[in-house]
A and B are shown apart, each in its own frame.
Chain A
Amino acid sequence: MDFVILSLVMLAIGIYGLLTKRHLLKVFISIELIATGATLNFVTLASAMGKGLGEAFLILAFSTDTAVSAVILALLVIISKKYHTSDISDLVQLEDNYESEDEM
């Protein structure tokens, strides 16, 4: 059982979702999966080296991850309410429309 490969697989799944999914919530879930893979790797290496400091730093990583999640979710809800869509392609199209209106 190798936790390093497990965390690499998690990272790969997260990156795949980040590149292919168009729904904002799925993008957020992909970011969470990448963070989970990273923390799993962190725990594995910290416990393999027998250093408790790794766990303390991991709690900082969790706090930062939660803070980032809070900001992303706030922005996500605002965008969804303002533009009535949570699809990245639609949002890009909206931005293009704004730019073409500004040029005219």
Chain B
Amino acid sequence: MILEAISIGLIISACLALFLDEAVYSIAALAGTFFFTAILYVANGAVFVAIFQFAVGVGTLAILFLSGEMLSEKPTKKTSLKSTFALIGAGVFLSLPAIFLSVSNTNAVGPDVSFGDALWNLRGVDVVLQGLVIMTIALGIAIVLYEKRTGGK
């Protein structure tokens, strides 16, 4: 029952993030999406991934709030309460198939490998380091683009 409620919350917040006119509210709804996703990760037994999702999500949302404020023009008409409730209803409706239908086989197959084993014995730590390298490159690109825009001042 709790998982169903969380999944409904996930879909509703995703709909709100996409359809709300005000950028800040939209990003706040995206924060809700990240939060509900992290809870679903914990429900699936992936606690480390949930922690990583929180860490990454907080950084992404902080930058999104800043850029959202910079990018947003004030909307000409505010989202009415009626359309907000319509969005919530659409979210509930969209989450019904996930609750009542079933296509996946959730039986455990294959050997049970713990997260620590995957990191240290199956070279998973290499994967994490690759991720850090890619992230560093991306930050470098962002800084180069910024310098290009300001003329290196």
Residues of A within 8 A of B (CB): 1-6, 9-10, 13-14, 16-17, 21, 24-26, 28-30, 32-33, 36, 39-40, 43-60, 62-71, 73-78, 80-82, 86
Instruction: Flag if A36 contacts B37 (CB, 8 Å).
Output: yes
Which of chain A's residues has its CB closest to B108's CB?
A50
Residues of B within 8 A of A (CB): 3-4, 7, 10-11, 14-15, 17-18, 23, 26-27, 30, 33-34, 37, 40-41, 44-46, 48-49, 52-53, 56, 59-60, 63-64, 67-68, 70-73, 94-95, 97-99, 101-119, 122, 124-125, 127-128, 130-132, 134-135, 137-139, 141-142, 145-146, 149
Instruction: Flag if B117 contacts A52 (CB, 8 Å).
Output: yes
Instruction: Flag if A63 contacts B17 (CB, 8 Å).
Output: no
Chain A residues lying within 8 Å of B149, measured Cβ to Cβ, are 78, 81-82
Chain B residues lying within 8 Å of A76, measured Cβ to Cβ, are 67, 71
Q: Looking at the complex, which one of A2, A36, A53 makes contact with B34 (CB distance below 8 Å)?
A: A36
Instruction: Flag if B109 contacts A50 (CB, 8 Å).
Output: yes
Instruction: Flag if A3 contacts B103 (CB, 8 Å).
Output: no
Instruction: Flag if A49 contacts B34 (CB, 8 Å).
Output: no
Instruction: Flag if A44 contacts B118 (CB, 8 Å).
Output: no
A5-B97, A55-B49, A75-B145 known; A48 vs B63 contact (CB < 8 Å): no
A50-B110, A60-B131, A74-B142 known; A66 vs B14 contact (CB < 8 Å): no
Q: Looking at the complex, which one of A26, A56, A69 makes contact with B119 (CB distance below 8 Å)?
A: A56
Chain B residues lying within 8 Å of A26, measured Cβ to Cβ, are 18, 26
